[in-house]
Amino acid sequence: MEKQLEGEISPLKLARTGARLRGRIALARLPRLLACVERGGEGVELALEFSRDIEDRSLVQGTLRASVDLICQRCLEVFTQQLEIDVHLGFVTSDEEAKALPEGLEACLLTDGVVILETLIEDELLLGLPDVPLHPREACPAGDKFRPLPANEKASEGNPFAVLGQLKGKVN
């Protein structure tokens, strides 16, 4: 069963009916995500399936795909990052239910039995952004300019705080 791709949804009802949500949502409708990227692409392609598990919990599983432009923290140039997020959520109404979810399921706390679809999608995409955006090393214009030291080259020998210890001894 295909459903609308915007606004409030009732995950518990969707899970009971085994609904599937497929389609595209414009990135313009995800302002928190847009604030974290340089530019957004065409939109988020989503394929979500709602279901109930053997314990009668409401679940959603699926995939979110988006393309965003980020600033490489090595060279400060813009690059395109493909995001592909696997969604595995269990809908809960309390902390106790959240703690009882099996491994591999993240909790999504429901308020009044509904969730705003855009918020759910935006949260998952934000969690999927890299902590430190970087080009792949071979594609980065900075090249090896900021390469880590090889294992056989040590930055310095000894304790870097030894000078502080000497100063402390002079103060006493």
CA dist., res. 172 & res. 168, Å (int): 7
Number of residues that make up the chain: 172
- The gap from C-alpha 108 to its chain's centroid, in whole angstroms, comes to 14
Look at residue 70 in the predicted model and tell me its pLDDT: 94
Tell me the whole-structure pTM to 2 decimals: 0.77
Mean pLDDT value across residues 160-172: 71
Query: Per-residue pLDDT tens for 93-137?
Result: 889 989 989 998 999 998 888 899 999 999 999 999 999 999 887
Amino acid making up residue 89: L
Residue 71 phi, psi dihedral angles, 5° rounding: -100, 120
Query: Per-residue pLDDT tens for 4-63?
Result: 477 888 999 999 999 999 999 998 899 999 999 988 778 899 999 999 999 999 999 999
Mean pLDDT value across residues 144-153: 60
Alpha-carbon torsion (62, 64, 65, 71), positive or negative? negative
CA dist., res. 87 & res. 41, Å (int): 20
27 Cβ contact list (under 8 Å, min separation 6): 33, 34, 40, 41, 42, 43, 44, 66, 68
Look at residue 72 in the predicted model and tell me its pLDDT: 92
Look at residue 4 in the predicted model and tell me its pLDDT: 47
- Maximal C-alpha separation, the chain: 77
